Structure 1
């Protein structure tokens, strides 16, 4: 009986201990924060327009001339030896508003003048039609002018004269001869494609006028302009010291 009572007491005590243990309190879930359903797109970034590529820098390379490079423009008996001439390969600004590479043959003592003058023309984007050696036209001054070709050395004499032209010394240049023709005192020219360019002053691409930038640029290196000749005018012509 005592044993039964003891067992019953132990059971009651066990139940009482279990009832005294506090019940687990659930941890409250965090209150969800409401978010806006409207999304904000980033502001569009303006794409910069590509800048036009810069034109190449002016270059002027000077080299010796071989006899084979001047098959028509030089011959024995010319007032200078071909050994005294130099080939200048330089950059010029074309009538198409793009840079080009041309060639001039000049006397070696004026190569610095050429580089200085044509660099200034190029930097100002002053246009030149074309620039080939006169040998491309078999040294025909008339054909070179008809093609509006800018050229320098050509072993030839002054028209209707026994005297050598300054071109025969490599110390003269004809620039854009169509736009800047040789004009007689009576106002005539021997090239039909140049007749509308015989008056000065005259506005137009590649035209040279009294006192303009081209005349001043060549004057700065000691070259004179044929447009200042008395009587006949040679608007295309520049020469070292004149003549």
Structure 2
């Protein structure tokens, strides 16, 4: 074949090959993303996980709203306290809302703590202010396993104000987390079965539990670590 015609033929073959390569490249599917860098699908919540509670809130309180939990002569004024509305998981596994009265400077911390308890799935039987009980009687509140905070009262057996009187303490599930004195006396009076701390009932607190750390990681002290009394329900913020 003369060189001119042969050159033209070769050029035509090269052009055809280029077209074929381009078509093949266009039809080839994109390479798979390496598994290590792939974006994982959003994880679904467990089928029985409770929904998040509505937003928590902080509100001022008046002397009238505090009822019998406050009186003139208490170490804090109502203006120094706040009503904190928080969500919690009940013993029925459902999300509920409750109220705690705390010192105004602790309100954001308390909200964060109970949000963490809810994420942990830690159950709380009930949560309402102590003025719901006759005479704002702490014993009645504890016997009802009611989680509470502010109550203008003294430390039992003393004339010293309790941290609760400042809104700086929370009693968590107090029936199943009783207070035990060296004498053998305990509170509440219906808590005898829960003096056995080897039990594993839902809501029962043990040293090192994630629920305990929800408080202690933020600087709160837990009465379950004291030498006397052993106050398993009690958390206080210095």
CA displacement at 1:58 relative to structure 2? 5.7
CA displacement at 1:186 relative to structure 2? 4.3
Q: 2:51 is matched with which residue?
A: 55
TM-score of the superposition, structure 2-length normalised? Answer: 0.76
Taking the aligned partners of 1:59 and 1:185, their CA distance within structure 2 comes to 42
Question: 1:7-46 counterparts in 2 under 5 A?
Answer: none
- Residue segments in structure 2 that go unaligned for 5+ positions in a row: 1-46
- Of 192, 215, 224, the match for 1:227: 224
- Residue segments in structure 1 that go unaligned for 5+ positions in a row: 1-50
Consecutive aligned runs of 4 or more in structure 1 exceeding 6 Å deviation: none
TM-score of the superposition, structure 1-length normalised? Answer: 0.75
SS of the aligned residue for 1:100 comes to strand
- Of 147, 150, 155, the match for 2:152: 155
CA displacement at 1:190 relative to structure 2? 4.0
Give the direction of change, closer, same or farther, for the CA distance of 1:221–1:190 in structure 2 (3 Å limit).
closer
Deviations 1:151-172 (A, max 9, x none): 0000000001010000000000
The structure with the largest alpha-carbon Rg is 1
1:210 matched to 2:207? The reply is yes
1:122 matched to 2:118? The reply is yes
Give the conservation status (yes or no) of the 8 Å contact 1:202–1:209: no
Q: 1:103 is matched with which residue?
A: 99
Q: 1:77 is matched with which residue?
A: 73
Q: 1:238 is matched with which residue?
A: 235
Taking the aligned partners of 2:129 and 2:79, their CA distance within structure 1 comes to 17
- Of 126, 138, 163, the match for 1:141: 138
SS of the aligned residue for 1:71 comes to helix
**How many corresponding residue pairs?**
191
Quote the RMSD (CA, aligned, Å).
1.6
Q: 1:193 is matched with which residue?
A: 190
CA displacement at 1:202 relative to structure 2? 2.8
Taking the aligned partners of 1:53 and 1:180, their CA distance within structure 2 comes to 25
